[in-house]
Chain A
């Protein structure tokens, strides 16, 4: 047997180490479709419980929208279940191209190419367009899939301090000897909920002859006045060279991602990007649902407006009850607890109060920056938010952290 006792024992020790470090991840089984209220079985085998969900990326509440579901069902009838092929052999239907065109119009770019996921888009895009003569300069808090994509690319790598235009400028100066410079950032940062300073970034890109890449996974559909994204919010529509985004969050929440941007760059991805070339096409049922999502987000801003109002209410509410939140313009609202154990304890007690939100701590976020990340949705009604705030108040009081600032929480709980 090739799976030796030694291998088994050593993997077992690795798992034990993960457990001891408090980093062991367990899935929670959800028995209902996604909505503000979900039925969760946790721990496995326990009776199902209905809790209010504050940790989904279901920003627009479209994950189980009846019109999206109906469109997906119709797509299933008309175009079948599977494609059994990558895109360029026999995996492209008319609706794939239609969705790409819809995304191009929505994002305000020149062209778009679908990928199996945004992780795949990020994994493939850099290698397709850059080589040893070039440099990639990334914000230090970009998503893990961007880090992976950069590692797969032979261009030089550099990073700048999170959100720091001054540091980015130094890096651009330092790399003037390269052929191409690509600035890489998330539009909305998933752990902090803050926005990249895209106006300043685009200006620097022009000054120092660089291209700009933005991952809009936590922005597409709701950030900006008509929900087109961080570039709309920052007034730089049309000035971003490469956008990647996902269909797996606000835009229906199923799966799929894309690279959207300058025509030649998108075409080079079609020719060279490995996840596009070597992984199966997005299923017709998902493409059909996503086309309906595009109809909905382009027909009305009602859902993103509701999300914005919910976000404002939630941010004001948490602040009023005396919790320490990270400021920002997005529906990702981190409640700062600094101490990792405290974050876990608070998340567990919130769950006891019927609120599902997750604690994050090192290495997912920096040491001493543990937090509960809450995410708002247009699916939340006032009643959900009020119950959420009441639960945070109860649990916050129990741990004596209401009205306490960072230093006071650190004094009470350490780091």
Chain B
């Protein structure tokens, strides 16, 4: 797995999974539709990405669909980093 995905996955695991839970996730686990991250607590993930990757994620890109897996989030970050 590339570094970008790994960094995002590490953040998601630390930020959203229970310390004592038995849940494990991969880059393709559905985060929002799978009920792991809700739209209310998604804000910290957005803030983390913006800070770490020096990007600004416009509201229209911060959709539940775009944030639904680590793979998708990584794609979004890459696109914004390339200024598209």
Contacts and interface: CB of A to CB of B under 8 A. Distances in A.
Contacts of A363: 35
B40 A159 contact: yes
Contacts of B43: 156-159
Contacts of A156: 43
Nearest to A146: B40
A102 interface: no
B18 A161 contact: yes
- Describe B's contact surface by its main secondary structure: loop
Nearest to B18: A161
A166 B20 CA distance: 13
A156 B46 CA distance: 12
B35 A147 contact: no
Given A161-B18, A164-B19, A366 B41 contact: no
B19 A159 contact: no
Given A161-B18, A164-B19, A366 B35 contact: yes
Given A362-B35, A363-B35, A366-B35, A147 B40 contact: yes
A372 to B, nearest CB: 20
A367 interface: yes
Contacts of A159: 40-41, 43-44
Contacts of A274: none
A147 B16 CA distance: 18
Given A161-B18, A164-B19, A140 B35 contact: no
B83 interface: no
Interface string B1-45: 000000000000000101100000000000000110010110110
A362 B34 CA distance: 10
Interface string B52-81: 000000000000000000000000000000
B40 A158 contact: no
Contacts of A158: 43-44, 47
B79 to A, nearest CB: 25
B24 to A, nearest CB: 14
B69 to A, nearest CB: 16
A143 B69 CA distance: 26
Contacts of A171: 44
B30 to A, nearest CB: 10
Residue of B19, B38, B40 with most chain A CB atoms under a 10 A cut-off: B40
Interface in A336-375: 362-363, 366-367
Contacts of B35: 362-363, 366-367
A332 B35 CA distance: 24
A156 B43 CA distance: 9
A164 B16 CA distance: 11
Nearest to A171: B44
Nearest to A368: B35
A262 B10 CA distance: 40
A348 B32 CA distance: 30
B41 A140 contact: yes
B18 to A, nearest CB: 7
Interface of B: 16, 18-19, 34-35, 38, 40-41, 43-44, 47
Closest 5 CB pairs of A and B: A367-B35, A159-B41, A157-B43, A158-B44, A147-B40
8 contacts: A157-B43, A158-B47, A159-B44, A161-B16, A161-B18, A171-B44, A366-B35, A367-B34
